[in-house]
Amino acid sequence: MTEPFFLFRFNSEENFTAMADHLHLAGDIGGTKTILALYSSEKGPLQPLFESSYASSSYPELDAIIEDFISNAKASAQTASFGVAGPVREGRAVITNLPWQPDASMLQASHGFSRVTLINDLVATGYAIPHLAHSDFLAINRGINTSAGALGIIAPGTGLGEVLFTWDGSRYLAVASEGGHTDFGPSSETEFRLLDFFMNRYGHVSYDRICSGRGLPAIYDFYKTLGRFAEPEWLADQLAAAEDPAPVIVNAALDETRHCDISIKTLELFISILGAEAGNLALKGLTTGGMYLGGGIPPKILPFLAGETFMKSFTSKGRMSYLLQDIPVNVILNPKAALIGAAAFGLGLQFAGLQHN
């Protein structure tokens, strides 16, 4: 198994006991990476006492990671909460890009927790928002701040996550979603051809299939098939050697020293479709309080997101375009947002408003 990466370490269990009466275990469970951290009710969700990162696919199930974490932390938590990349129903979750099916009651019994909560990882990301600093966000559309308006989050990473938050008069409540798996709707001749290409390759074509880490290489292959843009030899060599081609394509598109049309076009089409789906979510949730871009990909493509492509697609909604133009859009820059939110939720902290506007 892959050795975990420790960010925080204390010498003995007594260190933790002296710091707080209540210890809480929180986790961000993703298809690629799982991060667990130990928190105290006294210090809250921004100050983990101990934290470890694991390669998810190196473990047969979440139980094994929890056992490893507790052993290395030399401390056990009373309660636990996990943000998981997949749907959660009645305390059971299915991880979309892993063969894991964690069960809250089984985790509780196996590890002696008094309470275990599973929530979707995008729900967890939302609960982090009131705890993040101004520097954890980058505005790509200032819009008009609407007090207590609904919020939306769309997050391209290993997959495409989506969630809405509604205001109940005193706090925000999450409306979990698997909206990223809805059918892709093309809006240009190129996108219609992309749909045909993806249907021949995959059958069902969702936004998750396109706007994700696996979608980028597939869009790149689409452009190669069209033959409109030449593939540079240096890029072909890098792709052949790469375990994950997505970062190679992104880096080539961002490379200011070597212009690469095929990578640039790939990233522009990716961003255009992401912007369109973000606009779809904003309309369905009437997210006048703001839209957020989460996940691992947006912070890596900021120069392209800050350009006109994303917002042009986001606002291109016919008679509703004026409404989309007024919605604030922010990129979440903090890579630990889902972990922070899972901890905040598990510690019982309510989402009572926004701090960064």
Domain with 37 in it: what CATH number? 3.30.420.40
Domain tally, the chain: 2
pLDDT tens for the chain, 357 residues long, are 444 433 433 333 444 444 446 899 999 998 889 999 999 999 999 999 999 999 999 999 999 999 999 999 988 899 999 999 889 999 999 888 889 999 999 999 999 999 999 999 999 999 999 999 999 999 999 999 888 899 999 999 989 999 999 999 999 999 999 999 999 999 999 999 999 999 999 999 999 999 999 999 999 999 999 999 999 999 999 999 999 999 999 999 999 999 999 999 999 999 999 999 999 999 999 999 999 999 999 999 999 999 999 999 999 999 999 999 999 999 999 999 999 999 999 999 988 777 665
Enter the pTM of the model.
0.90
172 and 299 housed in the same domain: yes
Residue 348, exposed/middle/buried by CB under 10 A (0-12, 13-18, 19+)? exposed
Backbone torsions φ then ψ of 161, nearest 5 degrees: -100, 150
140 and 110 housed in the same domain: no
Residues written for the chain? 357
Say if 354 falls within a structural domain. Answer: no
Residue 57, exposed/middle/buried by CB under 10 A (0-12, 13-18, 19+)? middle
- DSSP 3-state assignment of 115? strand
Greatest alpha-carbon pair distance for the chain in Å reads 65
Say if 352 falls within a structural domain. Answer: no
198 and 54 housed in the same domain: no
100 and 138 housed in the same domain: no
CA 99/CA 101 separation, integer angstroms: 7
Range of the domain at 67: 5-121+338-346
